Chains A and B, each alone.
Chain A
Amino acid sequence: MDSGDRISRSARLALLAPAVLVIAFCLGGPLALLLSYSFAPGGSTRADFSDGLTLENYVGVLGDTFYLGIIFKTLWLSVLVTLAAILVGWPLAYFLWKMPPRFKTLCTLGIVAPLLISIPVRNYGWMLILGDTGLINKALLALGLIARPLRMMFTDLAVVIGLTHVLMPFVVLSVLASLERIPGDLAEAACSLGANRLTAIRLIVIPLSMPGLLAGATLVFCVASSSYVTPALMGPSGAKYSAVLIYQQFVSVFDWPRGAAVAVVLLVITAFALILVLGSADRRYRHLLRSH
């Protein structure tokens, strides 16, 4: 045969079948089940369809200020995290871009390697730094700048810091990929035409890094809005964030259909954001890490 990779159609089917079946049964099926649960009457861990499908969970979630408040707060916080990640990530990406190859690998490793460390471990470090008896408070007290410890841990601020720390590398990688596609002499051309370095960055580099920035930012937003670990560990107690809310519905309140509805709403928002922003962006950016 003269197909590009010389695999016959039946061979291709046979190769794909195991993976497709596993994903269909172990992910597709469960997700479909989740969806169906969201249409069941709430209040228990069972989905009782004897009275047919119902929208009461969605009405309950989307019509209740408590739930809506949590969802919007989570989205709002995700926006903050995204902005912070951009502020931290873009300069780092620029720095890596300008690095000579000899050091580039090491510096990149430093930013990216922490992605591979389990998140509770990373959050723990922040707890040690931001806590009432943590690094910052101890230092400020010792210096006499404050009289009582600043409450930083178990606040929204802590969650934003923690999530920014965890998700920022995505922005770095994404922006770096965009920057590296900029032809080398563009900035120099701008300078030869009279622009100083900052202007060249503002007018040339930043616009050209936009695709990567957009893709990275969208990813950060999506992951942040569905993140569980960091809000659970570092956030205020009680379900103040979507993912924690879902957890509670399943593990303490035991209202599974209600929890399922919240999850579906979360999924829809995430998918919407992804499609909206990445619909026109480079395909490659879509396949970035899931994590939390």
Chain B
Amino acid sequence: MTGMSYLTIDQATKHYGATRALDEVCLDIEVGEFVTLLGPSGCGKSTTLRAIAGLLDIDRGSIAIDGRDFTKVPIHRRDIGVVFQNNALFPHMTVAQNVAFGLRMRNVPLADQAERTAGALALVHLPDFGARYPHQLSGGQQQRVAIARALVINPRVLLLDEPFAALDRKLREEMQMELRDLTRRVGITSVFVTHDQEEALTLSDRIVVMNAGHIEQVGTPDAIYSRPETRFVADFMGARNILETTIVCIDATNATLAWHGTTLRAPLLAHHWLIVDRVVAAALRPESIRIVQLPMEGENATSGQVISKIDQGAFVTLKVATGPHPDETLIVRQTKVDQARNGPCAIGDTIGLSWEAADVVILRDAPRSTARTQVTIPLTSQSIRAARTP
């Protein structure tokens, strides 16, 4: 952790009765970063966002922005822009009045209000909409007005609480692009909340995966996607094959794992702490598994019988039974193109499967307990811990 971050959340805890909505959450966000809080409902992402906004008080911990402690500062003095899921536009005011509201609260002179409002509306591509009322606008337009309203006050941080959840897919993708453009151009620090992995992967500089009030993993989209650290993150991000493996042996850079007669070889990462003969979970993405010619030998390969096949437009998803045990199933996903190349598989066929060692990700059951979460750093031989047995 280097220097002081722009937005720091330290040990934030929030209880609702017996439920712990936030459990000693720590997070550092840099200036200009676009960070997404990602997780299922109830994971604490919205709670975190609302805590930053001051819309709720945390029981313990602190929130600081630009070095200043904001924990006790009331909502209306935080200078934070919030875009809500249902946009929260004031129905009895015009679009222009909505956007200018924050300026009005700051007693900005009328002429400046008009100018800045016009600027903000232009920024969201709605220059002539000032005189309309919210109910006359479409869902996407309303959200743009909400964004303009939040940005026009030059807030320290922009918070967005699942702002596109109510929009249809195409519109959502357009708005995501626009938002990213906008925040980059303005250079504003943004915290975005969503439960949609794709949205998080598209938009973010960093993703914070949350579960049951704590942070599971923080990292770049690539790290979260390709190198999930915990079972929860792997599962949430779509690595549907989570294999219970036994550690056979460990060397400097890799671990060899056994799974129901199949041998897997997985790279070791800095945070791994492994002991031989222990059971450990390993994740394997369905897209990473290739269908190959039989017979199959060696590690990171197996064979099995196709027991189900689902056509999903661009993909085909197969369920392959590699052994008699119900756990011994692998989910394989192929693009239609690859299917065509390899020849289609029918239910009942026996096929060979193979994957790269780099695609096998060893998981922990629980997130790391270190107070400060960091970006996962790449593996180097110096980072191997002494406790590993050869």
The interface of chain A, by Cβ under 8 A from chain B, is: 1-2, 6
A88 to chain B, nearest CB (A): 41
Closest A residue to B50 by beta carbon equals A2
Cα–Cα distance between A1 and B56 once the two chains are bound (Å): 6
Residues in A with CB closer than 8 Å to B75 are: 6
Residues in B with CB closer than 8 Å to A6 are: 75
Cα–Cα distance between A291 and B55 once the two chains are bound (Å): 44
Cα–Cα distance between A107 and B46 once the two chains are bound (Å): 47
Residues in B with CB closer than 8 Å to A2 are: 50, 55-57
Closest B residue to A2 by beta carbon equals B56
Cα–Cα distance between A10 and B275 once the two chains are bound (Å): 59
B316 to chain A, nearest CB (A): 41
List which B46-61 residues lie within 8 A (CB) of chain A: 50, 55-57
B175 to chain A, nearest CB (A): 29
Query: B15-57 interface mask toward A, CB cutoff 8 Å, 1 = contact, 0 = none?
Result: 0000000000000000000000000000000000010000111
Cα–Cα distance between A166 and B55 once the two chains are bound (Å): 50
B50 to chain A, nearest CB (A): 8
Closest B residue to A6 by beta carbon equals B75
Residues in A with CB closer than 8 Å to B56 are: 2
Closest A residue to B74 by beta carbon equals A1
Cα–Cα distance between A53 and B57 once the two chains are bound (Å): 56
Closest A residue to B57 by beta carbon equals A2
Cα–Cα distance between A286 and B55 once the two chains are bound (Å): 35
Closest A residue to B51 by beta carbon equals A2
B272 to chain A, nearest CB (A): 40
6 contacts between A and B (CB under 8 A): A1-B57, A2-B50, A2-B55, A2-B56, A2-B57, A6-B75
A197 to chain B, nearest CB (A): 41
Cα–Cα distance between A152 and B55 once the two chains are bound (Å): 67
Cα–Cα distance between A101 and B143 once the two chains are bound (Å): 33
Closest A residue to B75 by beta carbon equals A6
A153 to chain B, nearest CB (A): 53
Cα–Cα distance between A30 and B75 once the two chains are bound (Å): 45
Cα–Cα distance between A6 and B50 once the two chains are bound (Å): 14
Residues in B with CB closer than 8 Å to A1 are: 57
Cα–Cα distance between A186 and B50 once the two chains are bound (Å): 43
Residues in A with CB closer than 8 Å to B50 are: 2
Closest B residue to A1 by beta carbon equals B57
List which B234-285 residues lie within 8 A (CB) of chain A: none
B298 to chain A, nearest CB (A): 58
Cα–Cα distance between A1 and B51 once the two chains are bound (Å): 11
List which B131-185 residues lie within 8 A (CB) of chain A: none
Cα–Cα distance between A6 and B75 once the two chains are bound (Å): 10
A7 to chain B, nearest CB (A): 13
Cα–Cα distance between A15 and B75 once the two chains are bound (Å): 22
Q: Which 6 A-B pairs have the closest CB atoms?
A: A2-B56, A2-B57, A1-B57, A2-B55, A2-B50, A6-B75
Closest A residue to B56 by beta carbon equals A2
B198 to chain A, nearest CB (A): 31
Cα–Cα distance between A121 and B34 once the two chains are bound (Å): 70
Cα–Cα distance between A2 and B50 once the two chains are bound (Å): 10
Query: B342-362 interface mask toward A, CB cutoff 8 Å, 1 = contact, 0 = none?
Result: 000000000000000000000
A138 to chain B, nearest CB (A): 56
B216 to chain A, nearest CB (A): 25
Cα–Cα distance between A2 and B57 once the two chains are bound (Å): 6
Residues in A with CB closer than 8 Å to B57 are: 1-2
Cα–Cα distance between A2 and B75 once the two chains are bound (Å): 10
